Amino acid sequence: MSNLIYSLNATMPVFLVMVVGYFLRRTGMLNEEYIKVSNKFNFNVTLPCLLLLNMMDCDIKNTFDGKYVLYCAFSTIICITVIWTLAKLFCKKKNASDKNIVGEFVQGAYRGSAAILGIALLQNISGNAKMAPLMMLGSVPLYNIFAVIVLTFESPDMKENELGKNLKKAVKGICTNPIILSILGGMILSYFDITFPKIMYKTINSIGSLTSPMALIAIGAGFEGRKAIKKLKPTIIATTIKLVIQPLIFLPVAVAMGFEPEKIVAALIMLGAPTTATSYIMAKNMNHEGVLSSSIVVLTTLMSAFTITAWIFILRTMGYI
C-alpha cells in the first residue's frame, strides 16, 4: 500500500495538471494559439535548459558504469527497432490515416519520462536518484535521436520514394535539434567539470523548471476527446507496450546481468515510466497531429501508478530490490 501511495503521489499531480489544462481550454482561458506558442517555447527554450542542467549535473567520471550504460542503450535501441518494425508491418495494410500515426505511436510506446518524472519516482522508491544519471546517459540521448528519425520518416508530409531527401532531413533534424544539442552540451560540461556561475545556473534552472507544468497544461488544453476516442486502440496498445511489455522483457535481463538493486529500480523507471510530455512537444513541432501522443501521455500517466507499484511488489517479493 505504501508503494502505491508513493507512486500515486508521483504520478497523480502530473495527471491532474493535465486535467487543469483541459478545463482551462474549455472555459476559454486558453486557446489554440496559446497551445501552439507554448509547444514551440517548450521545444526551443525550456526543455533544452532542463536537459542541459540535468546532464551537466551528472557526475559522469565518478559514477560511470559502462556495462549498465550499454544495457540501457541496447534495451532502448531494441525496443525502438522492434516497435517501429511491428508498427510498420501492422499499418502496411491499413489506410492512410492509420499510417500517419505510426511516428506518434512508436515514440509514445518507447519514450519514457526518464528526465522529468523518472527522477521523482526514483527518489520515492529508492530514497535517492543516484542511478538516474547513468540511466539517462544510456537512454535519453537515444530517445531524442530516434524521435527525430522516426517522426521525420513517418511524417504525414513525407513521400516513401524520397529516401535521400528524408535521410537528409533526418540528419539535419538531429544536428539542429535543440533537445539533442542541449544533452550533448550538458555531457561535455559534465565531463570537463565545467559549471555555470550561480546566477546563470539559477536563471537557466528557473527557465527549465517551466518545462513540465507548461507541457502538461498544453497537453491538457490540446486534448480532444472525440479524436482521442477514435485512436483508443493504438493508445491502449502503446500504453501496454510501455508499462508492461518492455519491463517484462528487459527487467529479467538486468537481474541476470547482476546489477545491484538501485540499478534495477532505475531500469524499471527507464522501461516502465509513463510516456514523457516531450513526445507530444516534438510531435507537434515536427508537423504531426499530436492527438495520439497526448492520449498516450494521459493514459500511461494515469495507469503507471498501478503498474509501477505492481513491478515493485514483484521485484521485492523475489528479493531483487
Residue type present at position 102: V
Distance CA 6, CA 125 (A): 7
- pLDDT string in tens for the chain (321-residue length): 666 676 677 667 878 888 999 999 999 999 989 988 998 898 899 989 988 988 888 777 777 788 999 999 999 999 999 999 999 887 755 555 566 789 999 999 999 887 666 666 676 666 666 677 778 888 888 998 999 899 988 887 766 666 677 788 788 888 888 888 998 898 899 889 899 999 999 999 999 989 888 888 988 888 877 777 788 999 999 999 999 999 999 999 999 999 988 889 889 989 998 898 889 888 988 888 888 998 998 899 888 878 988 898 888 888 887
Please tell me the distance from the alpha carbon of residue 2 to that of residue 17, in angstroms, as a whole number: 23
Contact 304, 243 (CB under 8 A): yes
Retrieve residue 174's grid coordinates.
Answer: 538531429
Q: What is the dihedral of CA 6, 8, 14, 15, to 10 degrees?
A: 170
Domains of the chain: 2-317 (1.20.1530.20)
Answer for the pair 44, 178: CB distance below 8 angstroms, yes or no: yes
Give the Cβ contact number of residue 201 at 10 Å.
Answer: 14
Taking the mean position of all CA atoms in its chain, how far away is CA 191?
24
